[in-house]
Structure 1
Amino acid sequence: MAGSIEAEAKATYERFVKTRDEIDEGKRPWSDLADFFTEDAVYIDPAWGRIEGRENIREFFEKSMAGLTGYGWSTPENWTMAEGNRLVSQWDQILGHKEDGTPWLVAGLSILYYVGDGRFCYSHDMLNMTHVGETMRAMGWTPPPEFNMPPRKPIRDISLPKAWAHLESSRA
């Protein structure tokens, strides 16, 4: 792709968001998002912690989203910016709608590192999990049978992975 690394990162992220939107609509499986990551990527989830490797990320998407898809949840993007290989995106996690039509909403932020060729080597999603819990209680949400609880003691290491080497080679 011709142009700056920022433009390429943003174009790839736009495809990522389009894929996620199609997943929210039930048109694709969650595992399709793993295709946007390098084989040695790291994904940091606020509830599930650190996930290493594309195939583990693929499995994580399916397992972690079971029971959350198809209940009116969505993740609209508000803004995205890129500087060099780093991309930051602010989005809302919409957990459904109140009787008055306003959304049950929790704001989120993602930091990703882009390595080229349509792939990211790192993604760190941030949500205020206290706000998530309070919102879910207020809406009276109960987990459906297919829901999977996050690990009791997730790995909280948010350091960049060995995949960081991808960033050095992409600058050469």
Structure 2
Amino acid sequence: MGNTFTRDELASAFAEFERTVDHAARTRDWDRWVDHYTDDVLYIEHAAGTMRGREEVRPWIRRTMESFPGNYMTSFPSLWSVIDESTGRIICELDNPMRDPGDGTIISATNISIVTYAGDGKWCRQEDVYNPLRFVAATLKWCKKAEELGTLPDEAAQWMATVSAGPKQ
């Protein structure tokens, strides 16, 4: 099955995808982010699992982005992207920087996202590929820096204590 979208249409749709993601990061309006997917979107998130449909993605994205460390991530810019015209996909590396802990330090982790275009400004599939341990390491680094600076919020301290304690045996 071949793709019917032109390179220009894919590039334009991805530029709008990036604007939508940027708007969500700035306003914490996760509904607008989720609404740029088709009703039956397939969202594969390697740590959280596979979600089918917007109404499975919506509570997950809210929960993830409104609790620590997601609520300390300030933006999700693509560092690079590749358009695969034959499949209607964009493959990109997304950065996930956390807010300044108080001394100008930028701490982040990246993931590879593969998004498949469905037409009419909607995306029918997204897969986020990353090593969750790199996100944990970056978040711990952020927590330790914030603790050192006296800016560690309670929710981050609780997260750090839980992660540092490790799994219960």
Answer yes or no: same fold by TM over 0.5: yes
Contact 2:65 2:71 in 1 (8 A): no
Contact 1:31 1:59 in 2 (8 A): no
Summarize the Cα distance change of 1:83–1:128 in structure 2 as closer, same or farther, 3 Å threshold: same
Offset, 1:72: 5.2
Question: Which among 60, 69, 89 is matched to residue 86 of structure 1?
Answer: 89
| Bigger Rg, structure 1 or 2 | 2
The structure carrying a bigger helix percent of its residues is 2
Offset, 1:50: 0.8
Offset, 1:108: 1.4
Question: Which among 129, 137, 141 is matched to residue 138 of structure 1?
Answer: 141
Contact 1:40 1:52 in 2 (8 A): yes
- Other-structure match for 1:128: 131
Give distance in 2, aligned partners of 1:126 and 1:91: 10
Residue 38 of structure 2 corresponds to residue 35 of structure 1 = no
Long gaps (5+) in structure 1: 148-172
SS of equivalent to 2:35: helix
Offset, 1:52: 0.5
**Residue deviations 1:56-103 (CA, integer Å, cap 9, x gap):** 222222222112565352212212221121111112110233555231
Amino acid at match of 1:23: A
Amino acid at match of 1:113: T
Residue 48 of structure 2 corresponds to residue 48 of structure 1 = yes
- Residue identity over aligned pairs, in percent, reads 25
Residue 25 of structure 2 corresponds to residue 21 of structure 1 = no
Contact 1:106 1:127 in 2 (8 A): no
Give distance in 1, aligned partners of 2:9 and 2:52: 24
- Other-structure match for 1:61: 61
The structure carrying a bigger strand percent of its residues is 1
Contact 1:24 1:70 in 2 (8 A): no
Q: May I ask how many residue pairs the two structures share in their alignment?
A: 143
- Other-structure match for 2:77: 76
SS of equivalent to 2:50: strand
Give distance in 2, aligned partners of 1:10 and 1:58: 25
More deviation in 16-25 or 3-12?
Answer: 3-12
Offset, 1:143: 3.5
- Normalised TM-score (structure 2): 0.72
Contact 1:32 1:58 in 2 (8 A): no
Give distance in 1, aligned partners of 2:136 and 2:40: 31
- Normalised TM-score (structure 1): 0.71
Question: Which among 117, 140, 144 is matched to residue 114 of structure 1?
Answer: 117
User: Higher relative contact order by CA 8 Å / sep ≥ 6: 1 or 2?
Assistant: 1
